[in-house]
Structure 1
């Protein structure tokens, strides 16, 4: 079995709490995030609510939680979508580390009353696109000691508005809200820092029809983009995860 999909029963080194990873398809993996959590001594607890897995009532037994992407929409009426969106209140209420990636970020925004919708001209972001940190985002880069990557990987047709009370950390062109922070320890990223070369190859073959959407990059350009930009994404992600697992700093308003 690949270390990307190991579970808490398979590794308990250093006695650290597992990280809860919420996936949406039967064959989905957490990409490089699974390996990075394991390298830091955290087992990974993979759950798929879409297929009946329960979600914990408290985060006391987990170091943090990540909701990943998927082909569904945060606006869908499926029970598991609504349950995941409602469940996000658990880490928010307990101020425990939470990270939403792509669909997961849109679920976070939806949970807080923001809008999730398609681009008005039907454009998509599929491939590597510029990431533009805001003033708050530049301050956060100083907090973690690592600048944001200039380009990040996307695979989406919907975006979200920044919810009231959240900070926009980075913006983009077609989809202005790219990264948000909510409270001391919750983050939503419209992009996919977890993506591996194998994942890009798989996605661009299995969902090749999406590469014809307005704004999407072809497969060759995506692989070229990875060669150009992935090193900076890895350096940033390493610094971000260390900060995130530490509780993302002191609670807002702390002295």
Structure 2
């Protein structure tokens, strides 16, 4: 299987997804789009993973490559690719599908609980997930209105829509199940100006003290990827 990911800044990479892909002997490729590198042909990959970043989906004047990326994501969805969006990536998916992305009422930064939909386990890719999990958050914007024909999967006190799916091919996560310890430390270094004193924003010390939560998050991200791979193989056979 061929996985392609789009990266928006040097330090926000796919984390545990890279490890999972290597364990399964999948082919990995990437576009460092912030450097002006070209996007691949749709024939060159099977899954598309769209990573996070400090920019906003509506800052096309500042980041002109956003326009090209939105078209590419839309084409990938139309082509029936598996498309996974994380944080900014999830917001880009919401935008191209007709949702609304706006500033959230408060920033969420740090380790915070999300509650999953009661019927989440009926969705094959999430059959092993718990009802609640502590996840890593780092966002100020969110998809305040879901796109048509999507299903909300999770919410929290600070952000009522945390994840959604569009059919069995498109998955969007506002939070970071994939994130590596090194990326968290880089966020604290490079994006400290985004930190606030709100009810859902933690201090650097609290964030670093709770790094053990990574183990559980990575466990469920790998479970999700395993299930998604099985589903996609069945689809290919059919």
Q: The TM-score by the shorter chain falls in which range? A: 0.7 to 0.9
1:133 alignment partner, one of 97, 105, 116: 116
Give the superposition deviation at 1:62.
1.5
TM-score when scaled to structure 1?
0.83
- Report the RMSD for the aligned CA atoms in angstroms: 2.2
2:7 counterpart of 1:23: yes
Matched-pair contact (CA < 8 Å) for 1:138–1:169: no
Structure 1 residues 71 and 166: CA distance shift in structure 2, 3 A: same
Please name the residue that 1:106 is paired with: 91
Give the superposition deviation at 1:204.
1.3
2:133 counterpart of 1:150: yes
Give the superposition deviation at 1:47.
0.5
Structure 1 residues 63 and 73: CA distance shift in structure 2, 3 A: same
For residues 99 and 170 of structure 1, the distance between their equivalents in structure 2, rounded to whole angstroms, comes to: 16
Q: Deviations over 1:155-181 (max 9, x none)?
A: 111011211100111111221111100
Please name the residue that 2:34 is paired with: 50
1:176 alignment partner, one of 160, 174, 183: 160
1:196 alignment partner, one of 166, 177, 180: 180
Q: Deviations over 1:223-246 (max 9, x none)?
A: 23332x322212211110112233
For residues 125 and 13 of structure 2, the distance between their equivalents in structure 1, rounded to whole angstroms, comes to: 31
- Per residue, is there more strand in 1 or in 2? 2
Please name the residue that 2:228 is paired with: 244
For these two proteins, the number of residue pairs brought into alignment is 232
Structure 2: runs of 5 or more not aligned: none
TM-score when scaled to structure 2?
0.88
